[in-house]
Each structure stands twice: as C-alpha cells, then as structure tokens.
Structure 1
Amino acid sequence: MKKFLLIAFCATSMVAVAPVADAVQIKRACLASDRSAATRDRCSCIQRVANQALTRSDQKTVAKWFRDPHQAQELKMSKTQRDDALWDRYRNFGQMAQAICN
C-alpha cells in the first residue's frame, strides 16, 4: 500500500509534453518527499507516466499533494464533476505508474 501511495503521489488523457520548466513538477515533489522508495530513477519514471496521463495543470495540483496530502483527500470527497474527473485521472495515473515504475 505504501508503494502505491508513493507512486500515486509521486506523486495523471494523453497530452503534449509540457515545457521543460513545468515538465518535472511530479519528479521534484517525489524526490523531495521523505519516502525511502523515492529514488531518482523511480521518480523519473513516475514523471514520464505523469506526462502521458495528466495535464500540466493536473500535475501542478498533484505535486502540491506531496506537501499537503489532505488536499488530495478533500478533492476525493468533493462532489463536483470537475473534481471527480481529476480524481479519476489521478487514479488512472497511479495505476499506470505502479504497473510501469515498480
């Protein structure tokens, strides 16, 4: 379960690759986390999956969850269609990252 959470938090619809300055938000957040499984290789892999599964805006939001995981819980409990759609993309991203980066 901890590995899944790491991958999910390191923690999203196919999109064009974001500009270099924005393309590493998930990787940076992953590396900055205090999780022992957050290696450079694993965080790089998770970022590559994020580039495929999440929009740049999604990545920005998800990267914030590393510092404050409660934000993810609040979004999950939200009843708006927009938040539900983001949560679905995030879950898909987590499953893809777990399958590819484990």
Structure 2
Amino acid sequence: MKNVVLALGLGVVLAGGLASSAAQARGVIESACLRSDRPAANRVLCNCIQQVADAVLTSGEQRQGARFFADPLLSQDAKMSTRETDRQFWLKWEAFAAGAIKYCQ
C-alpha cells in the first residue's frame, strides 16, 4: 500500500511539473551523478534525477543514496541488510529509481 501511495504521489508531483531552473542549486544526487564515471551522465540528466529525488527522498535519504554513485557495493549492502530502517530506505530508493527511469529517459 505504501508503494502505491508513494507512486501516486510521485506521479502527481511530476505530472504537475518540477522546477527545471538552471539556476537551481545542485543537490547531492545531482552532484554525485555529475561526478560519477557513467558515460551518460550530463547536467540535464543529472538535474532531472535530482528533481525526482527531491520529490521522493528526504535529504538524509539523498545523502545516503548519493554514496551509491561512488561505491555501488554500498547499494548492495543496503539492499541485503536485515535492518528495518535499511529495508524502508531500500523501498523508497527503488521508487526513486523507477521514477527517475520513467521521467528522465
């Protein structure tokens, strides 16, 4: 049920239009994306990903997830963790990732 509510909330926020101002301060996800070694990373894509992150993740969750760009093994640790806080974070991170794929391609 939480995933449905989260997905609907993301859809409403994104359908309503997110701020795409170039003057907007970069967030931690956008900065991590731009610093990553991924060939597709560029300012437009990374800004879009940040906008989705702003709609779905708290600032603390963004900081936690930004580490994944530099060390992808950290994401596996979070995914495989048995701690409830990690499980809840992972569910939100998956919703964020799905939203980023849908809206930023």
> Secondary structure of the equivalent of 1:95?
helix
Which whole-Å CA distance do the structure 2 matches of 1:24 and 1:34 have between them?
18
With the length of structure 2 as denominator, give the TM-score of the two structures.
0.75
Which whole-Å CA distance do the structure 1 matches of 2:48 and 2:55 have between them?
11
Which structure would you say has the larger RCO, counting Cα contacts within 8 Å and 6 or more residues apart? Answer: 1
List, as ranges, runs of 4+ consecutive aligned residues in structure 1 with deviation greater than 4 Å. Answer: none
> Secondary structure of the equivalent of 1:35?
coil
Match of 1:25 in 2: 28
The one-letter code of the counterpart of 1:85 is: Q
Match of 1:99 in 2: 102
Equivalence map 1:1-102=2 (5 Å):
24-102=27-105
1:27 shift after superposition: 0.3
Q: Which has the larger radius of gyration?
A: 2
Please give the per-residue CA displacement for 1:25-76, whole angstroms capped at 9, x wherever unaligned: 0000000011111111000000000001000000000111111111110110
- Unmatched tracts of structure 1, length 5 or more: 1-12, 15-19
- Unmatched tracts of structure 2, length 5 or more: 1-5, 10-23
With the length of structure 1 as denominator, give the TM-score of the two structures.
0.77
Percent identity of paired positions between Structure 1 and Structure 2:
39
